[in-house]
Structure 1
Amino acid sequence: MRQAGQGQSRHYRAAVCTELKQPLTIQEVAPRPIGPQEVRVDVHFCGINFADNLVCRGQYQEKPPLPFTPGMEFSGVVLEAGADVSTVKKGDRVIGVSNFHSMAEQCITDQKTLWRIPENVSLQDAAVLPVSYGTAILAVDHRARIQPGETVLVTAAAGATGLAVIDVATNVFCAKVIAAAGSDEKCKLAMQRGAQSGVNYSQGSLKDAVKKLVGSSGVNVAIDMVGGDVFLDSLRSLAWEGRIVVLGFAGGNIASVPSNLLLLKNISAMGLYWGRYQHQDFAVFSKSMSTALQYCQQGLIHPHTGAVFKLEKVNDAFLHVMQRKSTGKVLLSLK
């Protein structure tokens, strides 16, 4: 195993946020020595997430000091490992999560935040897994506790996390999914990826459309990433003892929960902030990553990449996500 501080022969390129609400710049960065429990990774792919844009605009709950390199998740190959690293070695293919610094040709991270990729899983597919599938697995299993045969309503269904929820719910937990999205094309994609039916909520009431599909009994579970009126319609579409899991507010509006609805149908409303588990309950966080890799290795899930941008086009990639043109995961290719 290499000792810390070796392998620093050249500068590497990174996307850097030098000023909030301004385009990222591509800069040459000098490598720093790694600590005894740190690992230097040659990054091949990095995921683009909605949160990456928020942190670059100063609107995320975590605010790193300027300048910084964004990027929460990546796949790559280990270049060197610190003296006390025991989990990975040079040459291992890994996925990892980082505190907003992985949109770079190299990334240094603690060994605890890396997981080895099985031989039959590509680096590109692996890069889709951390945030989207880590969130999906905890939403479906740990929070909603979906049972085989239950009906699940998924909003923002054609996004990276929406498609991951559909993939896990249908192919692992044998649930029936209603995909709700903002266009017919996105609904079609969600159905191609496993949903039994689709609802375009830009064309009318989501609640009425769901009722036509399942009747007055409602759906067992709703997984919502939109917020606002879509959240409220999802809540009102739940069956007796239904569960709704809040994953985000892509629509920009945070709805107030009408607690009388929780009472009348014995509904459970819960949130899921996947990244918080990394600090509050690392065992649960790590299991979500290991499980995603295991499902992928077994061929149970099929990660979907919607678009791949080169590092030089990072601002185009951000715009692609923020203008809601993206379906599935958007990746940066560092090679």
Structure 2
Amino acid sequence: MKAWRVHENGEPREVMRLDEVPDPVPGPGQLLLRVRAANVNFPDALLCRGQYQVRPPLPFTPGVEVCAEVVAAGDATGAQPGARVLAQPPLPGGGFAELTVADSAGVLPAPEALDDAEAAALHIGYQTGWFGLHRRARLQPGETLLVHAAAGGVGSAAVQLGKAAGATVIGVTGGAEKAAVARELGCDLVIDRHTDDIVATVKEATGGRGADVVYDPVGGDAYAKSVKCIAFEGRVIVVGFAGGTVPAPGLNHALVKNYSILGLHWGLYNTKDPAAVRACHEELTGLAARGAIKPLVSERVPLDGAAAAVQRVADGLTTGRVVITPN
């Protein structure tokens, strides 16, 4: 089969190579999967660079979430052959390939309301958004939600989930094109960080109160400006640092203004509370069936274009989700 592999760390376009490799063999408790679509995540770029918290042995295949068809099981357990599922292939054998394997215990049914590319883009981004907004921040109807990188893969999921929860959503983007995408996603107000004053605009839009919940996958300056326009008893959800700078929060500032800083590492729920992950998937499946959420897939790329696609995501040149379609 064909699979992209990283043989040394560096920029994705330089270190990803499309190789011919043996078909994977599922072990006990695993499923052999034919990849129908593989979502590109920012961590795929960090994995290529050797900058992610997990560093798989070289060479490895990136691709941490897929929509796939079950081919066979490594034992008597697992989904039936032909079933359409969502899976997170364990590295070093990721999803940017024609075939992959995954642990049957973590495989979930793909929502019927979504096509393959949309389904591939659902799991990590929307689970992260749901756990962040509902489990960590306890977002309430009528509250104001501020979402950074609102036109991106992670941010766009939070925008849709925020609207589904009855919040007023303010989206922050960079540039007119991304601002237009955020409006189409349903943002009540869009702030272009290149031309608008984030702090002043949020305060004006909320009558001086500020944002009740901030969803921040960017870090750096985005975080610094967020805490200047956070409401009394507001909550800042720290999702990631796509901007490249990890902020150093002033805890005295959090004390004086009575707001909370909430960390979110969604992957921990897979080991600490897998039942909650499955319950969230049922909720997301229901939202998709009602049309309340639908992953924004901006590009559907054939397998041979995967390296360039990962590089575009790494460089911040994309909106929504970029999905690899091997077949």
TM class, shorter-length: over 0.9
- Residue 4 (structure 2) aligns with: 15
Is the Cα contact below 8 Å between 1:18 and 1:68 reproduced in 2?
A: yes
Is the Cα contact below 8 Å between 1:98 and 1:113 reproduced in 2?
A: no
Give the counterpart letter for 1:95 in structure 2.
Answer: L
Matched, 1:85 2:77: yes
Match of 1:139 among 122, 132, 136: 132
Q: CA deviation at 1:164?
A: 0.4
| 123-132 vs 43-52, greater mean Cα deviation | 123-132
Q: Within 1, Cα distance between the matches of 2:245 and 2:204?
A: 26
- Map 1:1-335 → 2, pairs under 5 A: 12-21=1-10, 22-86=14-78, 88-100=79-91, 101-171=94-164, 173-335=165-327
Give the counterpart letter for 1:92 in structure 2.
Answer: A
Is the Cα contact below 8 Å between 1:71 and 1:99 reproduced in 2?
A: no
Q: CA deviation at 1:122?
A: 1.6
SS in 1 for 2:100: strand
SS in 2 for 1:19: coil
Q: Within 1, Cα distance between the matches of 2:285 and 2:21?
A: 31
Give the counterpart letter for 2:89 in structure 1.
Answer: S
Is the Cα contact below 8 Å between 2:296 and 2:320 reproduced in 1?
A: yes
SS in 1 for 2:15: coil
Is the Cα contact below 8 Å between 2:117 and 2:300 reproduced in 1?
A: no
Give the counterpart letter for 1:332 in structure 2.
Answer: I
User: Hey, which bits of structure 1, 4+ residues long, moved more than 4 A?
Assistant: none
Is the Cα contact below 8 Å between 1:98 and 1:109 reproduced in 2?
A: yes
TM-score normalised to structure 2 length: 0.95
- Between the two proteins, what is the percent identity of the paired residues? 34
Give the counterpart letter for 2:15 in structure 1.
Answer: P
Is the Cα contact below 8 Å between 1:227 and 1:252 reproduced in 2?
A: yes
Is the Cα contact below 8 Å between 2:24 and 2:99 reproduced in 1?
A: no
Q: Within 2, Cα distance between the matches of 1:118 and 1:170?
A: 20
Residue deviations 1:22-41, cap 9 Å, x none?
42111111124322311011
Q: CA deviation at 1:237?
A: 0.9
Is the Cα contact below 8 Å between 1:224 and 1:247 reproduced in 2?
A: yes
Give the counterpart letter for 1:23 in structure 2.
Answer: V
Gap runs ≥5 in structure 2: none
Q: Within 1, Cα distance between the matches of 2:82 and 2:290?
A: 23
Gap runs ≥5 in structure 1: 1-11
Q: CA deviation at 1:204?
A: 4.4
Give the counterpart letter for 2:6 in structure 1.
Answer: C
Q: CA deviation at 1:187?
A: 1.7
TM-score normalised to structure 1 length: 0.92
Is the Cα contact below 8 Å between 1:274 and 1:285 reproduced in 2?
A: no
Give the counterpart letter for 2:295 in structure 1.
Answer: P
Is the Cα contact below 8 Å between 2:129 and 2:154 reproduced in 1?
A: yes
Give the counterpart letter for 1:301 in structure 2.
Answer: I
Aligned length: 322
Residue deviations 1:187-228, cap 9 Å, x none?
221111111000011224321221222232111110111111
Q: CA deviation at 1:13?
A: 0.8
Q: Within 2, Cα distance between the matches of 1:224 and 1:250?
A: 9
What RMSD over aligned residues (CA atoms) do the two structures have, in Å? 1.4
